[in-house]
Amino acid sequence: MRYVYSAILYLLLPLVVARFVWRSIREPAYRQRLGERLGWYSADLPGAAGPVLWVHAVSLGEVQAAVVLVRALLGRYPNHQLVVTTSTPAGSHQVRQLFGDQVIHVYVPWDLPGACRRFLARFQPRVLLLLETELWPNLITLSTWQGCRCLLVNARLSARSARRYACVPAFTSQVMQQLWHVCCQTSQDAERFARGGVLPAKLSVGGSLKYEASFDASLQQHAQRLRAEHALGERPVLLAASTHEGEEALLLQAFAQLRRQFPDLLLVLAPRRPERFAAVAGLCMAHGLDGTRRTSHCAVAAAHQVLLVDTLGELAAFFGLAHVAFIGGSLVPHGGHNPLEAALWSVPVISGPHVHNFADVYARLRAARAALEVTTAEQLALAVSELLTDDAARLARGRAGCLTVEENRGALSATMALLEQTLRN
C-alpha cells in the first residue's frame, strides 16, 4: 500500500509545486528553499556536531508549543545536535528568530521516498520527535528502517481525523506500528491511537505541552513596550487572535455594536495567515474603520479603532495588552487555535463552537469559567460587553484561566523522561 501511496505522490508532485508557486505570489517565502522540500540542501549548511535529535513541528502553532521542549533539549543534551524542521514559512521564521544557530533548521522533506532518504542520509538522526498529528508514512517508515526511533509526542487525534484514518485501516495500522512510542495529550487521544493500531505498550498519556508555556522577562518587557509605544493607558482592548477568512466580518459587526457602548475600545486584529494581512486591512477600511498596521511603525492614536498585527512572532506579547481575547479558527469550521496564551496572561477567552483541535483544553477552561462560547456576532458583542462592564467578573475569569494552566503542567517532564528512556534502550 505504501508503494501505491508513493506513486500517487510522485504523480501529484507537479501540482504540489504549482500550488507552492501560486501561494508564493502572495507570500514569496513559499518559493524559497524549494530544494529542501526534496531533500537537497545548501553546501554552506553546517554539519551535525554530535548525535542528532530531530524535532518536527509543522507550522507556527506547533513551533510555539515546541519552544519549551527545544529549550529543554538544548539544556539537557548539549553534546547532541538539534535539527528542527517545519513545513510552513511562518514556522520557519519563528524557529530562526527564537533559536538562530543553536539549532540546524530546514524544511521537512515532502513525503517522497527519494526526498526522505536524502534527508536521512544528510542528518542521520537517532531520534525523531514528531509533534501532535504528523503521521507521514514514508518519513516514519524510512526513518525507522534507518534505525531512527520515532516518537509522536504531544500527540492528539481528533474524532474527525480518526474517522479518516479508519477508511484505510490496514495502511494506518502499518504506519502507526512503526512508531516507537506515542505520548498523548489525553486518554481520549490514546484510545483513538489504540484503535488505529498502536499497541498499548507503546501508548502513554502525558498531557499537553501547550500548558508548559511560561512568562519570561523578555516577553513581559515586550508587552510593556507595546503598551507604552501605543499609549494605551486604561483604554479597553479586544484582541482577536489567529482569525480566519469569514471571521473578521463577524468580528467587525460585533465591534460596531460594542463601539456604541465603549467608544474608546481598541480592536487588535491578528489574522492567522500572513497572506491575508492586506485583505483584512482592506476589510477594515471598507467598514469605515481608521487604524494602523504594526509594520507601519505608527503608534495607535486616540482616533484609531483598529491595530492590525501584520507581523509574526509578536502575538504572545499582544495578549499582555488585552482585556478580552477572542481566539479564531472557531467561528468557522477550522478547529480552533490555542487559547492558553491568553489564559497565561489571565485574560478571559471567547471562542466560537468549532474547537475540536483543542477540545480538552477548552473543556477545562470552560469548566473553570475562564472561557465563553458564542456562535454569532451579536453573542460575541454581548459577551465582550458583559466582561468589560464587570471588572470583578472579568478578572476572576482571567485568574481561573491562569490557574488552569498551572494545574495542568507536566507534559514536558513526561516527554523528557520518554526521550531519556528511548536513548538508553
Q: What angle do CA 344, 348, 349 make, to 5 degrees?
A: 95
Alpha-carbon torsion angle 310, 247, 368, 72, nearest 10: -40
CA distance 57 to 345: 24
Pair 92, 107: CB distance under 8 Å: yes
CA distance 214 to 68: 9
CA distance 183 to 165: 19
Q: Tell how many helices (H) and how many strands (E) occur in the chain.
A: 18, 14
Of 27, 36, 62, 341, the active-site residue reads 62
Q: Which residues touch 321 (CB under 8 Å, ≥6 apart)?
A: 223, 226, 227, 230, 232, 237, 239, 268
Query: Which DSSP helix (H) or strand (E) runs through 152?
Result: strand 149-155
CA distances to 1, 165, 199 from 169, rounded to whole Å, are 11, 6, 14
CA distance 239 to 244: 14
CA distance 62 to 159: 20
Q: Give Cα 253 distance to the centre of its chain.
A: 27
CA distance 218 to 281: 29
Alpha-carbon torsion angle 119, 120, 126, 128, nearest 10: 50
Pair 329, 337: CB distance under 8 Å: yes
**62 is annotated as an active-site residue:** yes
Could you give the residue numbers annotated as active site?
62
